C-alpha cells in the first residue's frame, strides 16, 4: 500500500483544520499558515464583504498559543493606524479555538513589490512603514518580527504591517502583563515544527537575517524599540538589493543609514524609528545624512544636485553677461 503524497497530506490537514465560523462567516479559502495560526479568506454574511479570518492552527488545548492569538487581536485593536490592519471582530469557535477577523488585504508583499521599483519610490514606501512602526511604539507595542514578508503593499499603494503575533507589549500597558509574553519553549517548538516557519514563539523571537542580535541570543524579553530599528534597517538593506542577489549602486549615505540601523549593539543604532526615518528623509531632500560623514567632494555634489536648477540658471546668466561684455569690447 503506497503512502499519501505531500500534497494529499496538506489537503487532508487543511480539510481537518478548516474552521466552521458560521453562522456569520463563510470560510472560502486558506490564504496562509504560520507557527501559531492559519489565515482564511471568509465572507461576512452580515455586512456582505470578504474579510480575513485568523484562527489557531493547533488543537484547542494549547492554552498559551490560544491566549497569544486572543492577545494579538487585542494588540491590533488598539493600533488604529492606516498602516496597520484593522480588526473587525473576535470570538471563539465551537471547537474552542479563538479567532479574529480583520480587513482582507489585497496586494503584494514588500519583498515582491520591490522588484523593478526605483530607489526613490522604495524609500517613500519605507518611510510609510516607519510611520506605522513608530505609531505602535508610541502605544507601547514592539513588533519584534519585521521583515519584507510581513509588510504588504496594497492595491492603491498603501503600506501595511502584518503579523503582530510575537509583539511585545511594554509592562503595565496590558492588565497582568509583565512584558515577558512568550509561551513555553516546548509549545513554541511544536508551533514552529508544525508550520516550518522560521519565526518561533519562544525565548528566541524573530526571523534570522532580520532580528536584532539581542533577540538571536535569547534576549527577547529585554528587547526594546531599537530591536525594531534593527528590523527596519534590515528591510532597508533588502530593498536596496536587486534581483539575482546583487546590489544596487548604493550611495554611501544610504549605506551608512543601513549600517547604523543594523549596528550589533543597540546603543550604536538610531535611538528610535523617528531618528531613522529622519535620516532617510534628509537623503531624499538632498540634505546631509546624520549617519554619514561626507567629504568636500561629496558635499559639493550634494549641494549641486539639490540646487541644480538655480546653479544652472546662474551659470547661464554668467555666460550671457560675459558674452555681452566680450561683444561690446570688440
- Active site positions, annotated: 145
**Interatomic CA distance for residues 27 and 97, integer angstroms:** 15
Question: Could you check whether the bond before residue 136 is cis, i.e. omega within 30 degrees of 0?
Answer: no
| Upper half-sphere CA count for residue 237 (Cβ side, 13 Å) | 17
Task: State which H helix or E strand residue 191 sits in.
Answer: helix 185-195
**Interatomic CA distance for residues 258 and 172, integer angstroms:** 32
Task: Put residue 172 in one of left, alpha, beta given phi > 0 → left and psi -120 to 50 → alpha.
Answer: left
Burial class (CB in 10 A: 0-12, 13-18, 19+), 63: exposed
CA dihedral 67, 202, 162, 282 (to 10 degrees): 140
Phi then psi dihedrals of residue 15, to 5 deg: -65, -45
Which residue is listed with cell 455586512? 47
Question: 12: Cβ–Cβ under 8 A, 6 or more apart, which residues?
Answer: 4
Q: How many CB atoms lie within 10 A of CB 78?
A: 15
Contact 253, 294 (CB under 8 A): yes
Amino acid at each position: 500500500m503506497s503512502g499519501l503524497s505531500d500534497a494529499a497530506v496538506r489537503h487532508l490537514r487543511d480539510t481537518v483544520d478548516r474552521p466552521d465560523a458560521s453562522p456569520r462567516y463563510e470560510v472560502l479559502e486558506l490564504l496562509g499558515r504560520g507557527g501559531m495560526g492559519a489565515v482564511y479568506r471568509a465572507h461576512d454574511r452580515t455586512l456582505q464583504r470578504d474579510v480575513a479570518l485568523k484562527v489557531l492552527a493547533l488543537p484547542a488545548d494549547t492554552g498559551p498559543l490560544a491566549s497569544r492569538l486572543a492577545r494579538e487581536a487585542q494588540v491590533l485593536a488598539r493600533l488604529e493606524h492606516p498602516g496597520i490592519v484593522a480588526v473587525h471582530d473576535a470570538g471563539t469557535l465551537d471547537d474552542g479555538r479563538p479567532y479574529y477577523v480583520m480587513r482582507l488585504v489585497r496586494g503584494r508583499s514588500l519583498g515582491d513589490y520591490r522588484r523593478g521599483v526605483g530607489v526613490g519610490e522604495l524609500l517613500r514606501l519605507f518611510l510609510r512603514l516607519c510611520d506605522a512602526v513608530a505609531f505602535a511604539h508610541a502605544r507601547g507595542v514592539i513588533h519584534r518580527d519585521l521583515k519584507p514578508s510581513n509588510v504588504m503593499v496594497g492595491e492603491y499603494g498603501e503600506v501595511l504591517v502584518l503579523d503582530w503575533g510575537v509583539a511585545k507589549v511594554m509592562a503595565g500597558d496590558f492588565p497582568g502583563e509583565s512584558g515577558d509574553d512568550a509561551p513555553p519553549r516546548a509549545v513554541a517548538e511544536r508551533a514552529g515544527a508544525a508550520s516550518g516557519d522560521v519565526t518561533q514563539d519562544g525565548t528566541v523571537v524573530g526571523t534570522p537575517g532580520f532580528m536584532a542580535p539581542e533577540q538571536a541570543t535569547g534576549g527577547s524579553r529585554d528587547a526594546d524599540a531599537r530591536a525594531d530599528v534593527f528590523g527596519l534597517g534590515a528591510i532597508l538593506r533588502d530593498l536596496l538589493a536587486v534581483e539575482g542577489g546583487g546590489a544596487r549602486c548604493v550611495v554611501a549615505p544610504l549605506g551608512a543609514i543601513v549600517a547604523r540601523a543594523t549596528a550589533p549593539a543597540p546603543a550604536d543604532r538610531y535611538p528610535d524609528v523617528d531618528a531613522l526615518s529622519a535620516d532617510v528623509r534628509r537623503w531624499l531632500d538632498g540634505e546631509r545624512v546624520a549617519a554619514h560623514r561626507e567629504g568636500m567632494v561629496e558635499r559639493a555634489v550634494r549641494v549641486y544636485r539639490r540646487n541644480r536648477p538655480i546653479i544652472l540658471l546662474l551659470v547661464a546668466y554668467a555666460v550671457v553677461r560675459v558674452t555681452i561684455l566680450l561683444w561690446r569690447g570688440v
